[in-house]
């Protein structure tokens, strides 16, 4: 099936960015949300972004030419009636998504594929609200979609090969790199790993081991991450993280919500969008990179921040949810890490990672189940770079 018209449902942080990349790649886009003012604000943001990309010669067409391919409407019927492919990017609420998919199933042409940008909800249950379960799939983009190269493509229980192939081809036309997630598990690959880093970082701060800036300085200056973890949380929205965490844990992901995150959510300190989160910004929606002193980067051992994420990655690999190279690719392209999570593990040393997990359990008072794969590697002396073999051979 040839895709030429794409409907994007939801014009918030992710929806407007997805609409923008679709239009940049030459597709006709119809963007929908519940109110005109949300759509107007989305178009303003797309315009700003296109002008930035044009100035830097990252797009060839003038912004106005790209914008001409994006139509907006508050009517679902209007945007879906001739769509070949829908990408839904509404709020992370299963009932809302199921309702949208139920309506989309009735409004869109029968051959159209219905995709969700959900980062944590089950594709299978979303599909069950339609009569075309085999044509429902997950296409999970990362924030900001114009700059982040990754899309996690998630197969639900009913997704057929044709739907998977059309979705892969479409994402390639959007110039994205793809990781196929074989099982519809909560948080897929990237958000499970990210959740472990956010939770660890937040619990270290909550337990008085480090300050927000100490953690972010380690990540930025010693591990060369593009953003510290609290920066990413503020950037994407603490409300988003709060909801995703709730959904993931309700679906069996074992984690405790960090009390600081809970408090910030209750105080509506959502990060960049409200002007305050872990950091303070010049105003609501005004992003400015937080200043971090380099000296702070020496206060914490980097392995303790990443240990739980490495443990999670070991689980994903052992369970066959994604391949080793795809998991590494996912964190590099979805989170901007300078190298894969397994490379970090091998460099720290697997024994050091296990020791860091034990220390983390002591600090937080919560037991962490060490993944059997890590224990086996320690037993077999596959400790990483220092023994010439860990997740990779050296």
Per-residue x/- track, 122-161, ligand CAA (CB under 6 A): --------------------xxx-xxx-------------
Q: Choose which of 183, 211, 223, 226 interacts with ligand CAA (CB under 6 A).
A: 226
Quick check: is 236 catalytic?
no
Quick check: is 308 catalytic?
no
Distance of CA 28 to the CA centre of its chain: 25
Q: How many residues does the chain have?
A: 394
| Cβ-based nearer residue to ligand CAA, 241 or 352 | 241
Q: Distances in Å between the alpha carbon of 240 and those of 86, 198, 232, 246, 266?
A: 22, 13, 11, 10, 13
Per-residue x/- track, 73-102, ligand CAA (CB under 6 A): ------------------------------
Buried b (16+ CB within 10 A) or exposed e, 11-36: bbbbbbbbbbbbbbbebbbbbbbeee
Q: Which residue of this chain has its Cβ atom nearest to ligand CAA in the complex?
A: 336
Q: Which of residues 242-281 bind ligand CAA (CB under 6 A)?
A: none
3-class SS string, 48-108: HHHHHHHHCCCCCCCHHHHHCCEEEECCHHHHHCCCCEEEECCCCCHHHHHHHHHHHHHHC
**Strand duo 150-154 + 136-141: pairing:** antiparallel
From the number of C-beta atoms within 10 Å of its C-beta (0-12, 13-18, 19+), residue 206 rates as middle
Single out the segment in contact with ligand CAA by CB under 6 A; choices: 22-30, 45-53, 342-350, 363-371: 45-53
Backbone φ/ψ region at 274: left (φ over 0), alpha (ψ -120 to 50), beta: alpha
Quick check: is 51 catalytic?
no
| Cβ-based nearer residue to ligand CAA, 52 or 254 | 52
Single out the segment in contact with ligand CAA by CB under 6 A; choices: 69-77, 104-112, 177-185, 225-233: 225-233
Please name which of 25, 79, 68 lies closest in space to residue 43, comparing C-alpha atoms. 68
Residue of 191, 236, 303, 311 marked active site: 191
| Cβ-based nearer residue to ligand CAA, 27 or 235 | 235
Residue of 140, 236, 269, 303 marked active site: 140
Quick check: is 140 catalytic?
yes
Residue 332 Cβ, how far from ligand CAA at the closest point, in Å? 10
| Cβ-based nearer residue to ligand CAA, 275 or 336 | 336
Residue 194 Cβ, how far from ligand CAA at the closest point, in Å? 6
The half-sphere exposure of 81 on its side-chain side, counting CA atoms within 13 A, is 4
Residues with a known catalytic role: 119, 140, 152, 191
Q: Which residues bind ligand CAA (CB under 6 A)?
A: 49, 52-53, 119, 142-144, 146-148, 191, 194, 226-227, 232, 236, 240, 289, 335-336
């Amino acid at each position: 099936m040839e895709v030429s018209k794409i409907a994007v449902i939801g014009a918030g942080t992710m929806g407007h960015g997805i609409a923008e990349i679709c239009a940049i790649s030459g597709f006709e886009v119809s963007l929908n949300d519940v109110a005109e003012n949300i759509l107007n604000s989305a178009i303003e943001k797309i315009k700003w972004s296109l002008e930035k990309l044009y100035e830097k010669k990252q797009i060839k067409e003038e912004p106005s030419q790209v914008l001409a391919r994006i139509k907006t409407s508050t009517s679902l019927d209007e945007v879906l009636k001739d769509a070949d492919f829908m990408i839904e990017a509404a709020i992370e609420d299963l009932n809302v998504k199921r309702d949208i998919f139920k309506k989309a199933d009735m409004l869109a042409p029968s051959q159209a594929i219905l995709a969700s940008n959900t980062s944590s909800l089950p594709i299978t249950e979303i599909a069950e609200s339609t009569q075309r379960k085999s044509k429902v799939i997950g296409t999970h983009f990362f924030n900001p979609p114009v700059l982040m190269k990754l899309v996690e493509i998630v197969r639900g229980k009913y997704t057929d090969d044709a739907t998977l192939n059309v979705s892969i081809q479409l994402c390639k036309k959007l110039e994205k790199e793809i990781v196929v997630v074989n099982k519809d598990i909560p948080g897929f690959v990237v958000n499970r790993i990210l959740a472990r880093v956010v939770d660890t970082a937040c619990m270290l701060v909550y337990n008085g081991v480090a300050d927000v800036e100490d953690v972010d300085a380690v990540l930025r200056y010693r591990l060369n991450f593009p953003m510290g973890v609290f920066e990413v949380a503020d950037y994407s929205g603490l409300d988003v993280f709060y909801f995703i965490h709730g959904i993931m844990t309700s679906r069996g992901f074992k984690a405790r919500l960090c009390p600081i995150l809970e408090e910030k959510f209750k105080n509506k300190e959502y990060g960049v969008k409200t002007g305050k989160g872990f950091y303070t910004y010049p105003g609501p929606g005004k992003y400015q990179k937080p200043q971090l002193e380099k000296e702070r980067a020496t206060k914490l051992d980097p392995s303790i921040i990443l240990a739980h994420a490495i443990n999670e990655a070991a689980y994903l690999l052992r369970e066959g949810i994604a391949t080793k190279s795809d998991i590494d690719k996912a964190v590099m392209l979805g989170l901007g890490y300078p190298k894969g999570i397994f490379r970090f593990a091998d460099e720290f040393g697997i024994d050091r990672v296990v020791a860091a997990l034990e220390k983390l359990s002591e600090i937080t008072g919560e037991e962490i189940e060490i993944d059997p794969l890590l224990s086996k590697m320690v037993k077999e002396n596959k400790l990483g770079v220092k023994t010439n073999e860990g997740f990779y051979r050296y």
